[in-house]
Amino acid sequence: MIVVTGGSGFIGSALLAAFRHARVPATGTSRQPDDRRSDLVAIGNIDGQTAWDGALQGVKVVVHLAARVHVMRDTSAGALDEYRRTNVAGTARLAEQAVASGAERFVFVSSIKVNGETTHGRRFSEADAAGPVGPYAVSKYEAEAVLKATAASSGLEVVIVRPPLVYGPGVKANFLRLLRAVDRGIPLPLARVDNRRSLIGLGNLVDFLVQCALRPEAAGETFLVSDGEDISTAELVRRIGHAMGRAPRLWPAPVWALAAGARMLGQRSLFESLCGSLQVDIRRAREVLGWQPIRSLDQELADTVRWYRRERPV
C-alpha cells in the first residue's frame, strides 16, 4: 500500500490516478474531509503534532507532497517559522510515525529552490552544494536534512525529488496567469528575454514519482528532474500560443528596463522567474533509473491548454 499526502492537490490527484491505472493500491491524505473522494483520509493541519496513524496502516511507501507552498510575496517576519511548522516539523512527524508503522520507503517531493534561484551557464545537479534562498527553500532543505537523519537512524529508504516549476492540467499561480495573458492577447514585454529554464509537465513528474515509489534502485537517492528541454520564457509564450492556435503579443522591451522596473516595484523574485535562467541536469535520473521523460514539452503544454479551455478557471 502507498499513501500520498496532499492527495487532493494538483500533483497528488494525478499521482493517485496513476497508481490506480497501474493497479497499485494507494490512498491519499487531505487536510479537510472530502465526501466526493473515497480515496482520501482527512488528517487536519500538518505540523509536529499531526496524527498520521489512521493514514499509515499497512502502508509500505509514503509519497509526501503536502506542504506549505512558496508564495511570491511571503516576506513577513514570521514566515520562516510558519514554513518550518509545516514543512520541517510536519515532515519529521510523518517520518517518525511512518517508521513506527512499518513503512519502508519515504519519497519526499522537495524543490529545485534548495539548489538556488538561478543558474549561470551550468545546470544545477545533485552534487551541488545547497543554496536555498528564502523561507520556503530553507524549510525544504531542512526537511531533507531531517529525513536523511531519520534514514540513517532507522533504515527508512528516503528518496528526494527536486522538481522545477510544474505545469499541467490544474496548474495555478504564475503559469495560469501566463495562460490567461496569452489567451486574452495581453501584450507581454518578453520578446528579448533569452534565458533558459527547465520545467516539468505533470505527466512526466507523476511518471517519475511512480518509479521512485516502486523501483529498488531509487533508495537513498536525490534526483533533479525536468522535461529534458530548456527554453526561454519568450519561447514558452510562443509554444503556449501555438497550442492555443493564437499568435502571442510579444514586444521587445529591454531586459535592463524590466529589471529596473522590478526593483522599483519590489518584484525582483518575479523578474528572476521570468527573465533569469534555471536549468537542471537530469543525468542522475537517467543513469540510476534509466528514466526518460515520457512526454515532450509540447505534448504537456497541449494537455494544459486543453484543460484551460475546458475549465476556464477565473
What mean pLDDT comes out for the span 293-301? Answer: 96
**Do β-strands 199-201 and 2-5 pair in parallel, antiparallel, or remain unpaired?**
unpaired
CB 122 within 8 A of CB 130: no
**Total-model pTM:** 0.91
Q: Determine the Cα–Cα distance for residues 80 and 74; give it in Å rounded to an integer.
A: 9
Looking at residue 69, its pLDDT comes to: 83
Q: Over 60: is that where the pLDDT of 313 sits?
A: no
Looking at residue 91, its pLDDT comes to: 96
Looking at residue 262, its pLDDT comes to: 81
Looking at residue 75, its pLDDT comes to: 55
pLDDT digit string, tens, across residues 102-146: 999 999 999 999 999 999 889 999 999 999 988 999 999 999 999
Looking at residue 270, its pLDDT comes to: 83
Instruction: Return mean pLDDT, the chain.
Output: 91
What mean pLDDT comes out for the span 171-183? Answer: 92
Looking at residue 74, its pLDDT comes to: 57
In percent, the amount of the chain with pLDDT more than 90 equals 70
Q: Which helix (H) or strand (E) holds 265?
A: none
What are the extents of the domains in the chain? 2-170+199-227+279-290
Dihedral sign computed on CA atoms, order 297, 14, 94, 66: positive
Q: Which of 37-41, 135-139, 250-254 has the lowest mean pLDDT?
A: 37-41
What mean pLDDT comes out for the span 161-186? Answer: 93
Encoded amino acid at 308, one letter: Y
Looking at residue 274, its pLDDT comes to: 87
167 included as an active-site residue: no
What mean pLDDT comes out for the span 145-149? Answer: 96
* CATH superfamily of the domain spanning 2-170+199-227+279-290: NAD(P)-binding Rossmann-like Domain (3.40.50.720)
User: Catalytic residue among 136, 141, 167, 308, which?
Assistant: 136
Looking at residue 37, its pLDDT comes to: 76
Looking at residue 99, its pLDDT comes to: 94
Q: Determine the Cα–Cα distance for residues 39 and 75; give it in Å rounded to an integer.
A: 36
Q: Determine the Cα–Cα distance for residues 69 and 252; give it in Å rounded to an integer.
A: 33
Which of 28-32, 55-59, 194-198, 270-274 has the highest mean predicted lDDT (pLDDT)? Answer: 194-198
pLDDT digit string, tens, across residues 68-77: 886 645 555 5
